[in-house]
């Protein structure tokens, strides 16, 4: 496994792979890799011949009062996971390598970024789209793998690639959950034992909402109210939002019909957690994608 920290070295490695006829697969991460990232790597491994994992805690996507300084890091563990998963190249640059001077250039996606997580984190998505554009420019033509837990990020990056005609295929991958349903996240490491025990409340609220819909509920407000009630029932949580949206343009869903995203964000013990379920509703037919759940033996199974 190649481990590089220079932009020029990543570019050269990807060019060599393409020259050898391989497709490049990119998994952009902020490190502290978990089974969610592992599933992205495996998807890339299945589709492409040269798998790159980027590890970069991107300062641009953190707000002034957010957790940039304490964001968890474990490069040694990340390299071991990548090596075990057959990754071809890890790119783990320094901030000085990525931003030798404060960047003047910002890539902004309007509309999709203005609410949901963008309301509480107004500079976050500009940081994501700017660094992702840069990573794609370095990697060159590729497939890129993003988790559906960050559903808004996935919608924003998909739009970015489409608008700018970047030579990149964006692939969304299922949420990976702990045995008790908590969506995997590097930020779960912040949780105290008591908060960790309460954290699956978000997942259970989403499941209850899905059951309501499967039982015939078709009022969007009743669905979001049921998620809000579930979060409110756990006093450790403070709700940020619970919203039902069109899955593609993230516009508020006027009806329970079509491809939808039911998304929730809440704070617990100073940690911000997000979760969601993708729904496809066609009359009485309801398909909910809650992702995959790690069973007690550690192998993913449908959630």
- Please identify every residue annotated as catalytic: 37
Q: Are 108 and 3 in contact (CB under 8 A)?
A: no
CB atoms within 10 A of CB 111: 12
Any contact of residue 59 with its own copies (CB under 8 A)?
Answer: no
128, 59 contact by CB (below 8 A): no
**Phi and psi at residue 243, in whole multiples of 5°?**
-140, 145
Out of 1, 2, 4, 7, the only residue in the binding site for its own copies (CB under 8 A) is: 7
Stretch that binds its own copies, among 33-41, 69-77, 99-107, 235-243 (CB under 8 A): 99-107
H or E element at residue 201: helix 201-214
Told to check if 96 binds its own copies by CB under 8 A, we report no
Which one among 83, 106, 192, 222 touches its own copies, defined by CB under 8 A? 106
User: How many CB atoms are closer than 10 A to CB 2?
Assistant: 14
Chain positions 174 to 193 lying near its own copies, rule: CB under 8 A, are none
**Direct distance between the N- and C-terminal alpha carbons of the chain, in angstroms, rounded to an integer:** 32
Instruction: Please give the residues from 115 up to 174 whose contact with its own copies meets the rule CB under 8 A.
Output: 129-130, 133-134, 137-138, 140-141, 159-160, 163-167
Q: Are residues 280 and 267 in contact, defined by beta-carbon separation less than 8 angstroms?
A: no
* Strand duo 2-4 + 89-91: pairing: parallel
Binding segment for its own copies (CB under 8 A), chosen from 70-78, 103-111, 236-244, 256-264, is 103-111
User: Does 104 sit near its own copies (CB under 8 A)?
Assistant: yes
Number of residues located near its own copies, criterion CB under 8 A:
27
CB 132, min distance to its own copies, A? 10
Query: Would you say 65 or 105 has its CB closer to its own copies?
Result: 105
Q: Which residues pair with 293 in a beta bridge?
A: 177, 301
| Residues in contact with its own copies by the rule CB under 8 A | 7, 11, 103-112, 129-130, 133-134, 137-138, 140-141, 159-160, 163-167
């Amino acid at each position: 496994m190649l481990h590089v920290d220079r932009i020029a070295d990543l570019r050269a490695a990807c060019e060599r792979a393409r020259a050898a006829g391989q497709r490049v697969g990119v998994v952009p991460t902020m490190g502290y890799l978990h089974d969610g990232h592992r599933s992205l790597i495996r998807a890339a491994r299945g589709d492409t011949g040269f798998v790159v994992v980027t590890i970069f805690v991107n300062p641009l996507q953190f707000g002034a009062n957010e957790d940039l300084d304490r964001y968890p890091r474990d490069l040694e563990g990340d390299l071991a996971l990548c090596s075990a998963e057959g990754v071809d190249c890890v790119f783990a640059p320094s901030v000085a390598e990525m931003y030798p001077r404060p960047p003047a250039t910002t890539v902004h996606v309007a509309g999709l970024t203005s609410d949901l997580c963008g309301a509480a984190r107004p500079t976050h998505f500009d940081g994501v789209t700017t660094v992702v554009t840069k990573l794609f420019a370095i990697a060159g033509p590729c497939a890129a793998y993003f988790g559906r837990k960050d559903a808004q990020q996935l919608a924003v990056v998909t739009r970015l690639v489409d608008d700018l005609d970047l030579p990149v295929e964006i692939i969304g991958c299922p949420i990976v959950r702990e045995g008790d349903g908590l969506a995997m996240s590097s930020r779960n490491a912040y949780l105290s034992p008591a908060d960790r025990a309460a954290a699956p409340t978000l997942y259970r609220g989403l499941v209850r909402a899905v059951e309501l819909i499967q039982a015939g509920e078709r009022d969007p407000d009743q669905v979001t109210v049921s998620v809000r009630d579930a979060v409110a029932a756990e006093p450790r949580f403070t709700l940020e939002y619970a919203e039902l949206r069109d899955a593609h343009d993230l516009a508020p869903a006027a009806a329970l019909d079509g491809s939808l995203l039911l998304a929730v964000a809440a704070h617990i013990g100073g940690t911000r957690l997000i979760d969601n379920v993708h729904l496809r509703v066609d009359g009485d037919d309801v398909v909910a994608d809650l992702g995959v759940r790690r069973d007690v033996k550690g192998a993913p199974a449908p959630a």
